[in-house]
Structure 1
């Protein structure tokens, strides 16, 4: 039997904080909800031509033949509820979250299914209490037909939805669009235990200790990330709270996590005190708290104790053996570690722009740390990142020497810690930098091993996505890019993830999407060279030759040697057809080939 399909506007509505309301006053909540349905919700649905598809204890799924009427109904309902609840205490107030989508649905009897329904449900989950979230498709149809003001909420990665969804928001009683725009989108809690580690506070009064304090926080994040049973928010999003005293419940809402770890470090002479507390961000309850007083040379043992205690508090099923696997090789000399932290910070800075001076600083600091402690794995990784950036951006004075240096550093790191994800990742990067296309499968093996060792490391995820796209697995690459974005919901700059999405989109011939992703990357970091390259070739792919030529001029001015090697035939794509297409499109933008050369390749 052929399934029945139709285009419809789908409305998903749910009572915000329903479990809390029921726990406080079950009979009162049920009576109030019933009255609200009878007096406000049901009459609005009927008057706007909608139908109730199904109900749950606290939710509704509605179908409308008209998307304009669907939005009108939602706005009317939210406005009336806000008016009726004006004098109701906050802890007893009933408010709906509403999501609306326009899409193709599958009809079975009175029920409906399909992506059109699923997206509406996910939009409802991220809507604020008393607010509405709609998809861009809905917004396109209603923006000139309604007086209601919707504000761009950005592109969101919704749970179990393959493609990012552009979201628009409306909030009852908010007249100023800027207020709506500043309202955060609520992220649903992941299915597995989730945690954010806030930057530990430096209580020493010595700014020089900031590197050490930040390093402790980063190590805790890294160690927690080794456990596959945990969803750990990445470092950049956690560090957006550095220097602040945020409300833990708000942090949980902002980052979409259940648990938040916060703490402080006080260093005096050769002693150190570390305090930490684990808080349930939903209830505000303190799950665990501890204070550690140790002599300075025991600091890494203290970090291990803190990490193991946190894991034991939120995931008691994790066995001791898995905790032991989380241990990694650490430098014995704190001074070397502090210098290595500085080196790594400078190496990461050199990744975002063409700057030989920053690269040299990172290399010098890494070597200084290694002269103090030759077994400092972090310093070896900093050396790898610095040389890799010099090679990629074409600022290395001697490519052969730089390749030998990064290879030696990786081999030494592997000897010291054969289970460190970053070491496997750096070994994979060497293959990319050397351009040995026949070794890309080996690089993928290393990248996948790195991902197994540390599944929440966004550096590893980006690398894995890049390699998957390079060998033609574009959809898998996009999946990894989206995972990076989910792990970093508050990262100030996501340019590398956006650039990966553009790189994979070009491979998949989704040129318009690639242009959008590359533009986002450059909006975050205007000096990020790979994003310039991705923007150029995607513009040619979408037929925007004049814009591509302008973009090429900008990119070449920023990194002339990089683009010279690209025009000479260098490409990160290993798949022959993708590689040929990328090189040809870049040469078209440079004016070295006629635009007609793209016709058979698009």
Structure 2
């Protein structure tokens, strides 16, 4: 059995540690030390025990052990291994879980599509090459045969001289797609190649010369060719499903792509609204733009101080998108997202399940469904879902740290939740409330009071119960928020 702890997995049979960005290089002795600490997470393991187990029958200096512990702290979050003075060392990270080794390796072909290079010599044309990349990611992500890394993580490698093998290791994929777009006048040349990361062998490559108004046909051809190479049995399905064009209005498409760039940034997603409104103005039948606008309206709901007025327009946008295209995954996402915060849990579940069925690889859909599971008394399932999302988009750090912190708080795993929030440059208002709860439950009253002071600074003039109602009261079980209110009152009274 392997051991999973947080975003890491110790593969004991292979003597390999996998982290959120791929394999972590450990020495043989460091691996054995980590394995021993994980196997006994509730114990303080003495230095003598470690020496006897890791260096049996060998006399070594004490600082040798310290060197290996120091190396582990540099490779892992430092707080995972604590020194218990006079006694030894103890593992203090997320609870290790035994998992089957088979669960690690994806049964589907895993693909990372790198941002296509803009070879046009005009930075303003980046949207065009980005659109090509976005189209391929979106289309490939519709098929359950593939695990496709999301745009946000793939675009971390934009504009860099990338080593394919290194990129594949960081993204945790078997195949890499890369290409370029050269746009001159009303013509475009697209070059694309598919690479097997294990051997860096070029499996397939092609270039396309087209008139600009044929850009969506180019995307269709590339998508079909790549998919067919990886899973020939899906060729018929790809041919029938990959031809849906989001819009024939290229200006509307440009605004939509600019909106997607903003939507990928955790605290800037709501800024995509004006671009999306321009897109639907130019093409009122642009279903994907209506759907994304519905998602953004709900994002505004909690970024702009929880104004429920934003949720009705979100549902209207979702309804418009689904009238135009009943299979628009983000239309169902927008509907489910809004229903969640309206506490209409059954409708939210139906919509989110449909969104997952239409696009099981989309990390944002998985993330929002994780929140839904969290608010409907299933935090353990929510953690599985958010881990699946992070597997597909490992670089969308803000989303995962915050969402995971919310879920871990619900699950009562307070130290782990605090560790998630510690990774964030700025903890959002709604999670500051949860930080108060976490510190209080751990008996860290001073830290809880400091977190509560930050909460109050965001809400001058509001009572504590009003703050909890605004930030946290989206649980199906009313007892959760009743407890949170009591904790904030208790911390305030002790201040």
Same fold (TM over 0.5): yes
Q: Does 1:443 align with 2:344?
A: no
Query: What is the rounded CA distance, in whole Å, between the counterparts of 1:164 and 1:291 in structure 2?
Result: 50
- Secondary structure of 2:67's aligned partner: coil
- Residues in 1 aligned to 2:381 and 2:345: alpha-carbon distance in whole angstroms: 16
Q: Which residue of 2 aligns with 1:113?
A: none
Structure 1 position 497 matched with structure 2 position 388: no
Give distance in 1, aligned partners of 2:35 and 2:486: 34
More deviation in 261-270 or 496-505?
496-505
Work out the CA distance in 1 between the residues paired with 2:448 and 2:436.
Answer: 5
8 Å CA contact retained: 2:465, 2:485: no
Matches within 5 A, 1:541-556: 541-556=441-456
Residue 121 (structure 1) aligned to one of 7, 10, 13: 13
User: RMSD of aligned C-alpha atoms?
Assistant: 3.3
CA distance 1:495–1:296, shift in 2 (3 Å) = same
CA distance in structure 2 between the partners assigned to 1:216 and 1:563 by the alignment: 49
Contact 1:352 1:528 in 2 (8 A): no
Distance 1:286 1:541 in 2: 55
Between the aligned partners of 1:376 and 1:291, the Cα distance in structure 2 is 29
Which residue number in structure 2 is paired with residue 154 of structure 1?
76
Query: Is the Cα–Cα contact under 8 Å of residues 275 and 290 in structure 1 kept in the other structure?
Result: yes
Residue 160 (structure 2) pairs with residue 258 (structure 1): no
Tell me the residue number matched to 2:485: 583
Secondary structure class of the residue paired with 1:301: helix
Structure 1 match to 2:141: 225
**In the alignment, does 2:370 pair up with 1:465?**
yes
1:149-201 superposed Cα distances (whole Å, 9 cap, x missing partner)? 32432369xxxxxx6769xxxxxxxxxxxxxxxxxxxx975332111111110
Q: Can you give the 5+ residue segments of structure 2 that lack an aligned partner in the other structure?
A: 4-8, 18-22, 39-43, 51-61, 79-93, 98-102
* Partners of 1:543 and 1:339 in 2: CA distance: 50
Q: Does 1:366 align with 2:266?
A: no
State yes or no: 1:386 paired with 2:278: no
Aligned to 1:211: 127
Q: What is residue 161 of structure 2 aligned with on the other side?
A: 245
Larger mean CA deviation between 409-418 and 380-389 belongs to 380-389
Distance 1:362 1:137, change over 3 A: same
Deviations 1:221-273 (A, max 9, x none): 12111111112122222111111121112222222211110000111122211
Bigger RCO of structures 1 and 2 (CA < 8 A, at least 6 apart): 2
Map 1:556-595; keep pairs closer than 5 Å: 556-558=456-458, 565-568=466-469, 571-589=473-491, 591=492
The one of 178, 189, 202 equivalent to 1:273 is 189
Question: Which residue is 2:358 aligned to?
Answer: 453
Q: Secondary structure at the match of 2:76?
A: strand
Which of the numbers 422, 428, 450 marks the counterpart of 1:519?
Answer: 422
* CA-to-aligned-CA distance 1:26-66 (integer Å, 9 cap, x gap): xxxxxxxxxxxxxxxxxxxxxxxxxxxxxxxxxxxxxxxxx
Q: Rate the CA distance shift 1:236–1:346 in 2: closer, same or farther, 3 A.
A: closer
Aligned-partner Cα distance in 1 for 2:488–2:398: 21
Distance 1:313 1:568, change over 3 A: closer
Alpha carbons 1:571, 1:582 under 8 Å: kept: no
Cα distance in 2 for partners of 1:554, 1:253 equals: 40
Cα distance in 2, alignment partners of residues 291 and 164 from structure 1: 50
Whether the 8 Å contact between 1:394 and 1:562 is mirrored in structure 2 is no
1:587 deviation in Å?
A: 4.0
Q: How does 1:144-223 map to 2 (within 5 A)?
A: 146-149=65-68, 150-152=71-73, 153-154=75-76, 190-223=106-139
Q: Tell me the SS of whatever aligns to 1:121.
A: coil
Q: Distance in 2 between matches of 1:347 and 1:232?
A: 19
Aligned mates of 2:189, 2:289 — CA distance in 1: 25
For 2:384, the equivalent position in structure 1 comes to 479
Which 10-residue stretch deviates more, 500-509 or 254-263? 500-509
Counterparts in 2 of 1:496 and 1:586: CA distance versus 1, 3 Å = farther
Q: Is the 8 Å Cα contact of residues 375 and 416 (structure 1) preserved in structure 2?
A: yes
Who is 1:21 aligned against? none
Task: Please identify, of 234-243 and 555-564, the stretch whose mean Cα deviation from structure 2 is larger.
Answer: 555-564
Question: Offset of 1:481 from its aligned partner?
Answer: 1.6
Equivalent pair of 1:344/1:379 in contact (CA under 8 Å): no
Distance change (3 Å), C-alpha of 1:226 and 1:576: same
Does residue 540 of the first structure (1) align with residue 444 of the second (2)?
no
TM-aligned CA distance change 1:420 to 1:382, over 3 Å = closer
Residue in structure 2 matching 1:316, options 227, 232, 242 = 232
Aligned to 1:148, what secondary structure does the other structure show? Answer: helix
For residues 512-561 of structure 1, the C-alpha deviation after alignment (integer angstroms, 9 at most, x for no partner) is 222222323x2xx4153343333232222222222122112224435668
| Residue 298 of structure 2 is aligned to residue 376 of structure 1 | no
The number of equivalent residue pairs is 440
| Residue 322 (structure 1) shift | 4.8
CA shift, 1:147, in A, is 4.9
Once the two structures are TM-superposed, the CA of residue 339 in structure 1 deviates from its matched residue by 1.1
| Residue 549 to residue 372, structure 1, CA distance change in 2 (3 Å) | same
> Is residue 427 from structure 1 mapped to residue 346 from structure 2 by the alignment?
no
CA contact (8 A) 1:537 1:548 kept: yes
1:383 CA displacement = 2.3
Change (3 A) 1:342 1:310: same
Q: Measure the CA separation in 2 of the matches of 1:587 and 1:221.
A: 48
